[in-house]
Structure 1
Amino acid sequence: MLVVGKTEEDFMNEGIDKYISRLKHYISFEFITIPDVKGGSKLTTLKLKEEEGKLILAKVTAGDQLILLDEKGKDFSSREFSGFIQKKMNSGAQALIFVIGGAFGFSDEVYEKAKDQISLSKMTFSHQMVRLFFTEQLYRAFTILKGEKYHHD
Protein backbone atom coordinates (compact mmCIF):
# COMPACT_ATOMS: atom_id res chain seq x y z
CA MET A 1 0.00 0.00 0.00
CA LEU A 2 1.26 3.46 -0.89
CA VAL A 3 0.16 6.57 0.96
CA VAL A 4 1.08 10.19 0.39
CA GLY A 5 2.28 11.98 3.53
CA LYS A 6 2.86 10.59 6.98
CA THR A 7 0.09 9.54 9.34
CA GLU A 8 -0.06 12.24 11.99
CA GLU A 9 -2.09 10.72 14.82
CA ASP A 10 -0.54 8.10 17.10
CA PHE A 11 -3.85 6.30 17.63
CA MET A 12 -4.23 5.84 13.87
CA ASN A 13 -0.66 4.56 13.55
CA GLU A 14 -1.37 2.05 16.34
CA GLY A 15 -4.48 0.80 14.55
CA ILE A 16 -2.73 0.60 11.19
CA ASP A 17 0.17 -1.31 12.76
CA LYS A 18 -2.28 -3.72 14.41
CA TYR A 19 -3.87 -4.67 11.07
CA ILE A 20 -0.56 -4.76 9.22
CA SER A 21 0.76 -7.32 11.73
CA ARG A 22 -2.41 -9.37 11.25
CA LEU A 23 -2.21 -9.10 7.45
CA LYS A 24 1.30 -10.51 7.42
CA HIS A 25 -0.16 -13.89 8.44
CA TYR A 26 -1.82 -14.02 5.01
CA ILE A 27 0.32 -12.06 2.55
CA SER A 28 3.52 -10.16 2.09
CA PHE A 29 2.45 -6.61 2.87
CA GLU A 30 4.25 -3.29 2.82
CA PHE A 31 2.93 0.07 3.96
CA ILE A 32 5.00 2.68 2.11
CA THR A 33 4.73 6.36 2.92
CA ILE A 34 5.66 8.77 0.16
CA PRO A 35 6.80 12.05 1.70
CA ASP A 36 4.78 15.18 1.16
CA VAL A 37 5.99 17.25 -1.80
CA LYS A 38 8.43 19.89 -0.59
CA GLY A 39 6.87 23.32 -0.94
CA GLY A 40 3.56 21.70 -1.80
CA SER A 41 1.53 24.38 -0.07
CA LYS A 42 2.88 26.91 -2.59
CA LEU A 43 1.92 24.83 -5.63
CA THR A 44 -1.35 24.88 -7.54
CA THR A 45 -3.58 21.88 -6.98
CA LEU A 46 -2.79 20.58 -10.47
CA LYS A 47 0.97 20.93 -10.00
CA LEU A 48 0.82 19.30 -6.56
CA LYS A 49 -1.08 16.30 -7.98
CA GLU A 50 1.47 16.03 -10.80
CA GLU A 51 4.41 16.04 -8.36
CA GLU A 52 2.73 13.50 -6.07
CA GLY A 53 1.93 11.43 -9.16
CA LYS A 54 5.60 11.28 -10.14
CA LEU A 55 6.48 10.01 -6.67
CA ILE A 56 3.69 7.40 -6.77
CA LEU A 57 4.58 6.13 -10.24
CA ALA A 58 8.26 5.87 -9.29
CA LYS A 59 7.24 3.09 -6.87
CA VAL A 60 5.36 1.05 -9.50
CA THR A 61 7.04 -1.63 -11.63
CA ALA A 62 5.88 -3.26 -14.87
CA GLY A 63 4.11 -6.28 -13.32
CA ASP A 64 2.30 -4.32 -10.61
CA GLN A 65 -1.42 -3.58 -10.65
CA LEU A 66 -2.17 -0.10 -9.39
CA ILE A 67 -5.51 0.25 -7.59
CA LEU A 68 -6.55 3.71 -6.45
CA LEU A 69 -8.73 4.52 -3.47
CA ASP A 70 -10.88 7.22 -5.00
CA GLU A 71 -14.23 8.71 -4.11
CA LYS A 72 -15.45 7.99 -7.65
CA GLY A 73 -14.32 4.37 -7.53
CA LYS A 74 -16.39 1.20 -7.37
CA ASP A 75 -18.22 0.47 -4.12
CA PHE A 76 -18.00 -2.99 -2.58
CA SER A 77 -19.43 -4.76 0.40
CA SER A 78 -16.71 -6.42 2.48
CA ARG A 79 -17.57 -9.81 0.98
CA GLU A 80 -17.53 -8.38 -2.58
CA PHE A 81 -14.18 -6.76 -1.85
CA SER A 82 -12.74 -10.11 -0.76
CA GLY A 83 -13.86 -11.56 -4.10
CA PHE A 84 -12.21 -8.64 -5.90
CA ILE A 85 -8.97 -9.36 -4.04
CA GLN A 86 -9.16 -13.06 -4.91
CA LYS A 87 -9.66 -12.29 -8.63
CA LYS A 88 -6.73 -9.89 -8.60
CA MET A 89 -4.46 -12.44 -6.90
CA ASN A 90 -5.51 -15.08 -9.43
CA SER A 91 -4.77 -12.72 -12.35
CA GLY A 92 -1.01 -13.21 -12.05
CA ALA A 93 -0.18 -9.66 -11.00
CA GLN A 94 3.30 -9.34 -9.55
CA ALA A 95 1.89 -7.11 -6.82
CA LEU A 96 -1.32 -5.29 -6.01
CA ILE A 97 -0.53 -1.73 -5.06
CA PHE A 98 -3.34 0.14 -3.36
CA VAL A 99 -2.77 3.89 -3.31
CA ILE A 100 -4.21 6.49 -0.98
CA GLY A 101 -3.31 9.81 -2.54
CA GLY A 102 -3.01 13.29 -1.20
CA ALA A 103 -5.85 15.61 -0.25
CA PHE A 104 -6.61 16.58 -3.86
CA GLY A 105 -6.60 13.15 -5.46
CA PHE A 106 -4.44 11.90 -8.30
CA SER A 107 -2.81 13.24 -11.42
CA ASP A 108 -4.06 12.22 -14.85
CA GLU A 109 -0.93 10.08 -15.26
CA VAL A 110 -1.73 8.07 -12.15
CA TYR A 111 -5.35 7.57 -13.26
CA GLU A 112 -4.09 6.34 -16.66
CA LYS A 113 -1.73 3.82 -15.07
CA ALA A 114 -4.31 2.48 -12.62
CA LYS A 115 -6.11 -0.77 -13.34
CA ASP A 116 -8.97 -0.04 -10.94
CA GLN A 117 -10.45 2.57 -8.65
CA ILE A 118 -12.33 1.62 -5.52
CA SER A 119 -14.22 3.65 -2.95
CA LEU A 120 -14.62 2.95 0.74
CA SER A 121 -17.79 4.99 1.05
CA LYS A 122 -19.85 7.76 -0.47
CA MET A 123 -18.94 9.73 2.65
CA THR A 124 -15.75 11.73 2.79
CA PHE A 125 -13.07 10.67 5.27
CA SER A 126 -9.70 12.21 5.97
CA HIS A 127 -6.87 10.52 4.09
CA GLN A 128 -5.41 9.66 7.48
CA MET A 129 -8.55 7.76 8.52
CA VAL A 130 -8.81 5.99 5.16
CA ARG A 131 -5.44 4.40 5.86
CA LEU A 132 -6.77 2.76 9.01
CA PHE A 133 -10.16 1.83 7.55
CA PHE A 134 -8.66 0.35 4.41
CA THR A 135 -5.99 -1.64 6.23
CA GLU A 136 -8.73 -3.15 8.37
CA GLN A 137 -10.78 -3.95 5.26
CA LEU A 138 -7.81 -5.72 3.68
CA TYR A 139 -7.46 -7.81 6.81
CA ARG A 140 -11.21 -8.49 6.80
CA ALA A 141 -11.04 -9.58 3.14
CA PHE A 142 -8.40 -12.18 3.92
CA THR A 143 -10.32 -13.54 6.89
CA ILE A 144 -13.35 -13.91 4.60
CA LEU A 145 -11.26 -15.72 1.99
CA LYS A 146 -9.91 -18.08 4.65
CA GLY A 147 -13.36 -18.70 6.13
CA GLU A 148 -12.36 -17.32 9.52
CA LYS A 149 -14.82 -15.91 12.05
CA TYR A 150 -13.87 -12.23 11.96
CA HIS A 151 -16.56 -11.05 9.51
CA HIS A 152 -20.27 -11.44 10.23
CA ASP A 153 -22.90 -10.99 7.52
Structure 2
Amino acid sequence: MKITLIQLGKTEDSYITDGVDKYEKRLKHYINFSTITIPALKNTKNLTVDEQKKKEAELLFKHLNATDQVVLLDEKGKEFSSVQFSAHINKNMNRAVQNLVFIIGGPYGFDPKVYERANEKISLSKMTFSHQMVRLFFVEQLYRAFTILKGEPYHHE
Protein backbone atom coordinates (compact mmCIF):
# COMPACT_ATOMS: atom_id res chain seq x y z
CA MET A 1 0.00 0.00 0.00
CA LYS A 2 1.05 3.55 -0.67
CA ILE A 3 -0.09 6.51 1.41
CA THR A 4 -0.23 9.99 -0.08
CA LEU A 5 -0.96 13.25 1.66
CA ILE A 6 -2.27 16.02 -0.59
CA GLN A 7 -2.16 19.50 0.85
CA LEU A 8 -3.12 22.90 -0.51
CA GLY A 9 -0.51 25.61 -0.13
CA LYS A 10 3.04 25.28 1.05
CA THR A 11 4.08 25.13 4.68
CA GLU A 12 5.74 28.41 5.54
CA ASP A 13 6.90 28.06 9.15
CA SER A 14 10.24 26.30 9.49
CA TYR A 15 9.36 24.68 12.82
CA ILE A 16 6.44 22.94 11.11
CA THR A 17 8.41 21.90 8.02
CA ASP A 18 11.18 20.55 10.28
CA GLY A 19 8.65 18.48 12.23
CA VAL A 20 6.90 17.23 9.11
CA ASP A 21 10.26 16.28 7.56
CA LYS A 22 11.22 14.38 10.72
CA TYR A 23 8.10 12.21 10.64
CA GLU A 24 8.14 11.75 6.87
CA LYS A 25 11.65 10.30 7.15
CA ARG A 26 10.54 7.99 9.95
CA LEU A 27 7.49 6.86 7.95
CA LYS A 28 9.71 5.66 5.08
CA HIS A 29 10.71 2.71 7.29
CA TYR A 30 7.12 1.48 7.37
CA ILE A 31 5.27 2.53 4.25
CA ASN A 32 5.63 4.12 0.83
CA PHE A 33 4.61 7.66 1.84
CA SER A 34 4.62 10.82 -0.23
CA THR A 35 3.29 14.34 -0.02
CA ILE A 36 1.84 16.39 -2.85
CA THR A 37 1.66 20.13 -2.30
CA ILE A 38 -0.71 22.01 -4.56
CA PRO A 39 0.23 25.69 -4.76
CA ALA A 40 -2.21 28.06 -3.07
CA LEU A 41 -4.53 29.92 -5.39
CA LYS A 42 -3.43 33.40 -6.39
CA ASN A 43 -5.54 36.50 -6.99
CA THR A 44 -8.46 35.22 -4.93
CA LYS A 45 -9.76 38.66 -3.91
CA ASN A 46 -12.30 38.64 -6.73
CA LEU A 47 -13.40 35.05 -6.15
CA THR A 48 -16.21 33.95 -3.89
CA VAL A 49 -15.54 31.21 -1.36
CA ASP A 50 -17.43 28.73 -3.56
CA GLU A 51 -15.36 29.72 -6.59
CA GLN A 52 -12.15 29.22 -4.61
CA LYS A 53 -13.26 25.79 -3.45
CA LYS A 54 -14.21 24.84 -7.01
CA LYS A 55 -10.78 25.88 -8.34
CA GLU A 56 -9.05 23.98 -5.54
CA ALA A 57 -11.16 20.92 -6.38
CA GLU A 58 -10.05 21.07 -10.02
CA LEU A 59 -6.41 21.08 -8.88
CA LEU A 60 -7.01 18.21 -6.44
CA PHE A 61 -8.69 16.00 -9.01
CA LYS A 62 -5.59 16.15 -11.22
CA HIS A 63 -3.79 14.12 -8.54
CA LEU A 64 -6.43 11.46 -7.93
CA ASN A 65 -6.94 8.14 -9.67
CA ALA A 66 -10.24 6.30 -9.89
CA THR A 67 -8.96 3.50 -7.65
CA ASP A 68 -7.63 5.75 -4.87
CA GLN A 69 -9.19 5.41 -1.44
CA VAL A 70 -9.73 9.10 -0.61
CA VAL A 71 -9.90 10.30 2.99
CA LEU A 72 -10.65 13.93 3.74
CA LEU A 73 -9.23 15.46 6.89
CA ASP A 74 -12.35 17.33 7.84
CA GLU A 75 -13.59 18.76 11.12
CA LYS A 76 -16.91 16.97 10.65
CA GLY A 77 -15.28 13.59 10.08
CA LYS A 78 -15.10 10.53 12.29
CA GLU A 79 -12.77 10.80 15.25
CA PHE A 80 -10.34 8.07 16.25
CA SER A 81 -8.03 7.48 19.15
CA SER A 82 -4.46 6.76 18.06
CA VAL A 83 -5.00 3.03 18.57
CA GLN A 84 -8.26 3.13 16.60
CA PHE A 85 -6.55 5.05 13.80
CA SER A 86 -3.78 2.44 13.63
CA ALA A 87 -6.44 -0.28 13.37
CA HIS A 88 -8.12 1.71 10.60
CA ILE A 89 -4.84 1.92 8.67
CA ASN A 90 -4.33 -1.81 9.19
CA LYS A 91 -7.85 -2.53 7.91
CA ASN A 92 -7.06 -0.63 4.69
CA MET A 93 -3.84 -2.60 4.27
CA ASN A 94 -5.71 -5.87 4.79
CA ARG A 95 -8.33 -4.82 2.22
CA ALA A 96 -5.46 -4.49 -0.27
CA VAL A 97 -6.03 -0.77 -0.82
CA GLN A 98 -3.40 0.24 -3.37
CA ASN A 99 -3.27 3.97 -2.66
CA LEU A 100 -4.70 5.59 0.45
CA VAL A 101 -4.91 9.35 -0.16
CA PHE A 102 -5.46 11.80 2.68
CA ILE A 103 -6.36 15.37 1.73
CA ILE A 104 -6.01 18.56 3.75
CA GLY A 105 -8.26 21.15 2.15
CA GLY A 106 -7.95 24.86 1.76
CA PRO A 107 -8.99 27.50 4.31
CA TYR A 108 -12.69 27.17 3.46
CA GLY A 109 -12.92 23.40 3.34
CA PHE A 110 -13.84 21.32 0.32
CA ASP A 111 -16.01 21.77 -2.73
CA PRO A 112 -19.11 19.52 -2.78
CA LYS A 113 -17.57 17.48 -5.63
CA VAL A 114 -14.60 16.62 -3.40
CA TYR A 115 -16.97 15.41 -0.69
CA GLU A 116 -18.77 13.29 -3.31
CA ARG A 117 -15.48 11.72 -4.44
CA ALA A 118 -14.26 10.99 -0.91
CA ASN A 119 -14.61 7.52 0.52
CA GLU A 120 -14.57 8.85 4.06
CA LYS A 121 -13.87 11.82 6.31
CA ILE A 122 -11.85 11.78 9.48
CA SER A 123 -11.22 14.48 12.04
CA LEU A 124 -8.05 14.91 14.06
CA SER A 125 -9.91 16.77 16.81
CA LYS A 126 -13.04 18.70 17.67
CA MET A 127 -10.75 21.71 17.90
CA THR A 128 -9.88 23.75 14.85
CA PHE A 129 -6.21 23.90 13.84
CA SER A 130 -4.42 25.85 11.16
CA HIS A 131 -3.86 23.91 7.96
CA GLN A 132 -0.14 24.21 8.65
CA MET A 133 -0.46 22.52 12.05
CA VAL A 134 -2.73 19.77 10.70
CA ARG A 135 0.11 18.64 8.44
CA LEU A 136 2.40 18.08 11.40
CA PHE A 137 -0.29 16.48 13.57
CA PHE A 138 -1.32 14.14 10.77
CA VAL A 139 2.15 12.83 9.87
CA GLU A 140 2.93 12.34 13.55
CA GLN A 141 -0.29 10.36 14.03
CA LEU A 142 0.43 8.30 10.93
CA TYR A 143 3.90 7.51 12.28
CA ARG A 144 2.38 6.69 15.66
CA ALA A 145 -0.12 4.36 13.97
CA PHE A 146 2.68 2.32 12.40
CA THR A 147 4.63 2.11 15.65
CA ILE A 148 1.46 0.80 17.33
CA LEU A 149 1.00 -1.79 14.58
CA LYS A 150 4.61 -2.91 14.96
CA GLY A 151 4.39 -3.03 18.76
CA GLU A 152 7.16 -0.46 19.12
CA PRO A 153 7.49 1.63 22.30
CA TYR A 154 6.69 5.07 20.81
CA HIS A 155 3.03 5.05 21.90
CA HIS A 156 2.26 4.72 25.62
CA GLU A 157 -1.11 3.65 26.89
Which residue of structure 2 aligns with residue 131 of structure 1?
Answer: 135
CA apart distance, 1:92: 2.1
Please give the TM-score of this superposition, normalised by the length of structure 2.
0.95
- The alignment's TM-score, normalised by the length of structure 1, stands at 0.98
- Structure 1 counterpart of 2:66: 62
SS at match of 1:135: helix
Give the CA RMSD over aligned residues: 0.8
Q: How does 1:66-145 map to 2 (within 5 A)?
A: 66-145=70-149
Bigger mean CA offset, 39-48 vs 60-69: 39-48
Aligned mates of 1:25, 1:130 — CA distance in 2: 22
Runs of 5+ unmatched residues, structure 2: none
- Structure 1 runs (4+) deviating above 3 angstroms are none
Change over 3 Å in CA distance of 1:41–1:84 after alignment to 2: farther
Find 1:23's aligned residue among 27, 38, 44: 27
- Distance (whole Å) between structure 2 residues aligned to residue 89 and residue 129 of structure 1: 26
Separation in structure 2 between the aligned mates of residue 89 and residue 46 of structure 1, nearest angstrom? 35
Shift of 1:151: 0.2
Give identity over the alignment, percent: 58
Q: Give the number of aligned pairs.
A: 153
Q: 2:37 matched to 1:33?
A: yes
- Name structure 1 gaps, 5 residues minimum: none
Greater alpha carbon shift after TM alignment, 86-95 vs 44-53: 86-95
Gap change, CA 1:8 and 1:104, over 3 Å in 2: same
Deviations 1:81-114 (A, max 9, x none): 0001111122222200000011100001100010
